Chain A
């Protein structure tokens, strides 16, 4: 069994600061780390490997920083990594990204499952899994909170809007996971040391038979602006001598708003 985990390294959200004047987030020069849900997908794959054996391979598209971020994945237990390293692809949309990943997956060739987070926490778009399912013509199983891999199939519990669904899919299949699936392990110092010796294959777009121009031409969504607007709220402090009085004032204020 060969599980292919899609990982994205994103700026550490806790490190992002907002420029007071422009309200733009400052993301340059911030250390990147594997997006939380992707890490949980990796953890699920490693746990499944513990039961059915085989290999866990990670695939990521990024830049020079990605190699460092992916060491964590190798330390957690991934057996090898493929990285598409191309600074020019920064900012391409999900349509173009999925086409690049498709090319890389076809190059890797051999796999039973492709697994990733349901969304990445930077773009929050939830598109890559289903797009790859379409491009590769694989069954898709999204919002997975329980994942059980066996020879030839995956059984999963999906977390949908008002209900849960227990499903079974033949392989190869695409699986995306939600936060509840697990708590990712923290790698030991020994495994961190070992990670550096695991195989990492670095590809350029040209290695995948793609050019930067054609990839950019498939990228349709343009980001015009990103700001962190301040929440404009009334900021009324309810104060009184006693709790009862304060509660009464609050009840009156809510009534006054006409929302109840």
Chain B
């Protein structure tokens, strides 16, 4: 029996390997990883054995087939997968094929009293559920930045070639369109500044770029109304949008709806700037400043630059 790790996102796979290594030690198991290129890097990040398969570009059928082969080859009792959108459509497929329990987007995974216990958000993000699963294998998915990757280790391991056969993709991809840059990588951002309805016009959002620069580089996010209702930006932060885990999350004119707050719960430091003293966001932040963003932000940019 072993723990198997897979994510098509290499950084995320490394983060999962760190968690798998920790669990493996407590459970006295080996850590396997399914990967395609530079398998030795996965060993440095914690894998004991790498199942190397020629995965190619993502296709559900081939990734599914490779994973099922990997589960068999590793005799995995626990499968940790990355909760990217690709991972989230793949994990339940594997689970159904294996008649297995699957727990998605887990924020915490621990081994307590002989069972793996996870924590994940439920009820629109307002509650945290502690869950466990009795099936072998059990599948767990976790989003980027849920765990910290290890420092590369001086460690040896085994690389095993994995062959698999996949059926032809049933769904035909006619076209792919890149999303505009800038808003793309919120999940991996270390600093995020975020816009809420306190902004009165789309042009006014430009100041967030100055703020991002003054902070030494930051991703720019927003609340659902700014994106979905007004269309001023692409991706919003929240339970139905991007769930983020930055070191610093700075909200500007954000009121603090539960769905938004649930998506930023794992931020290290939350700053709220809002002119409404009663805004919910002030109640869930580390540093709150009651003031008009149109006055505070220019002053803050100036102050940050002076202190740099």
Bound form: Cα–Cα A52–B145 in Å: 44
A128 contacts which chain B residues (CB < 8 A)?
A: 92
Majority secondary structure of chain B interface residues (helix, strand, loop or mixed)? mixed
Bound form: Cα–Cα A93–B178 in Å: 36
Bound form: Cα–Cα A126–B121 in Å: 13
Instruction: Check A124 against B105 for contact (C-beta < 8 Å).
Output: yes
* Contact digits for B113-142, partner A, Cβ 8 Å, 1 yes 0 no: 000010011111111111111110010000
Bound form: Cα–Cα A166–B173 in Å: 6
Instruction: Check B122 against A123 for contact (C-beta < 8 Å).
Output: yes
Known: A164-B177, A224-B131. A233 touches B284 (CB 8 A): yes
| Minimum CB–CB distance for A228 against chain B, Å | 5
Interface residue from A123, A130, A143, A167 paired with B171 (Cβ < 8 Å): A167
Instruction: Check B117 against A224 for contact (C-beta < 8 Å).
Output: yes
Instruction: Check A260 against B216 for contact (C-beta < 8 Å).
Output: yes
Bound form: Cα–Cα A165–B169 in Å: 15
Residues in A237-251 with C-beta less than 8 Å from chain B: 237-239, 243-244, 246-248, 250-251
Instruction: Check B269 against A254 for contact (C-beta < 8 Å).
Output: yes
Bound form: Cα–Cα A9–B122 in Å: 15
Instruction: Check A139 against B170 for contact (C-beta < 8 Å).
Output: yes
Bound form: Cα–Cα A140–B271 in Å: 41
Bound form: Cα–Cα A51–B284 in Å: 47
Q: Does B248 contact A (CB under 8 A)?
A: yes
Bound form: Cα–Cα A236–B4 in Å: 43
A124 contacts which chain B residues (CB < 8 A)?
A: 104-105, 120-122, 124-125, 239
Bound form: Cα–Cα A18–B127 in Å: 9
Bound form: Cα–Cα A220–B78 in Å: 13
| Minimum CB–CB distance for B42 against chain A, Å | 21
Q: Does B300 contact A (CB under 8 A)?
A: yes
Known: A94-B102, A226-B122, A251-B303. A134 touches B284 (CB 8 A): no
* Contact digits for A16-46, partner B, Cβ 8 Å, 1 yes 0 no: 1010000001010000000000000000000
Instruction: Check A247 against B296 for contact (C-beta < 8 Å).
Output: yes
Q: Does B89 contact A (CB under 8 A)?
A: yes
Known: A243-B295, A260-B248. A254 touches B175 (CB 8 A): no
Interface residue from B100, B176, B178, B248 paired with A259 (Cβ < 8 Å): B248
Q: Does B265 contact A (CB under 8 A)?
A: yes
B300 contacts which chain A residues (CB < 8 A)?
A: 247, 250-251
Residues in A162-181 with C-beta less than 8 Å from chain B: 162-170, 173, 178-180
Instruction: Check A246 against B289 for contact (C-beta < 8 Å).
Output: yes
A193 contacts which chain B residues (CB < 8 A)?
A: none
Interface residue from B124, B128, B282, B296 paired with A246 (Cβ < 8 Å): B296
Q: Does A13 contact B (CB under 8 A)?
A: yes
Interface residue from B216, B286, B299 paired with A233 (Cβ < 8 Å): B286
Instruction: Check B303 against A247 for contact (C-beta < 8 Å).
Output: yes
Q: Does A191 contact B (CB under 8 A)?
A: no
Which of B17-25, B80-88, B196-204 faces chain A?
A: B80-88
Q: Does A160 contact B (CB under 8 A)?
A: yes
Instruction: Check B248 against A243 for contact (C-beta < 8 Å).
Output: no
Residues in A208-260 with C-beta less than 8 Å from chain B: 218, 220-229, 231, 233-239, 243-244, 246-248, 250-255, 257, 259-260
| Minimum CB–CB distance for B100 against chain A, Å | 7
Bound form: Cα–Cα A66–B307 in Å: 59
A180 contacts which chain B residues (CB < 8 A)?
A: 228
* Contact digits for B254-293, partner A, Cβ 8 Å, 1 yes 0 no: 0000000100010011110100000000111111111100
B91 contacts which chain A residues (CB < 8 A)?
A: 127, 130
Interface residue from B92, B123, B283, B285 paired with A126 (Cβ < 8 Å): B92
Known: A160-B86, A166-B174, A228-B127. A135 touches B96 (CB 8 A): yes
Instruction: Check A167 against B123 for contact (C-beta < 8 Å).
Output: no
Q: Does A142 contact B (CB under 8 A)?
A: yes
Residues in A35-76 with C-beta less than 8 Å from chain B: none
B99 contacts which chain A residues (CB < 8 A)?
A: 95, 218
Known: A166-B174, A220-B138, A246-B289. A226 touches B127 (CB 8 A): yes
Instruction: Check B128 against A226 for contact (C-beta < 8 Å).
Output: yes
B191 contacts which chain A residues (CB < 8 A)?
A: 259-260
6 contacts between A and B (CB under 8 A): A25-B123, A95-B100, A162-B184, A164-B176, A247-B302, A259-B268
| Interface residue ranges, B against A (CB under 8 Å) | 60, 84-86, 88-93, 95-97, 99-105, 117, 120-135, 138, 170-179, 184-185, 187, 191, 215-216, 228, 239-240, 247-248, 261, 265, 268-271, 273, 282-291, 295-296, 299-300, 302-304, 306-307
